[in-house]
Amino acid sequence: MLISKKDTALDYVEQVRVRVFLNTLSEFKIRVRFLEVDSLNDNQPGEDIIFKTIIASSSIRKGWLDIDLSDHNIIINQDKFYLMLEWLYEESDRIFMTKSYGDYLKKYADGIKSDTIEENGTKIPYVDLPTNNFKQYLTGTFFYITGSKQ
pLDDT of residue 84: 93
pLDDT of residue 136: 54
pLDDT of residue 22: 86
As a whole number of angstroms, the distance between CA 67 and CA 54 comes to: 10
Closest by Cα among 136, 149, 140 to 1: 149
pLDDT digits (tens, 9 = 90+) for 62-105: 999 999 999 999 998 888 999 999 989 888 888 888 888 777 77
- The conformation of residue 145, written as its DSSP 8-state character, comes to -
Q: Are 54 and 5 in contact (CB under 8 A)?
A: no
- 126's CB contacts (< 8 A; 6+ apart) are 114, 115, 116, 117
Please name every residue paired with 34 in a beta bridge, in sequence order, or none if there are none. 83
- 3-class DSSP state for residue 94? helix
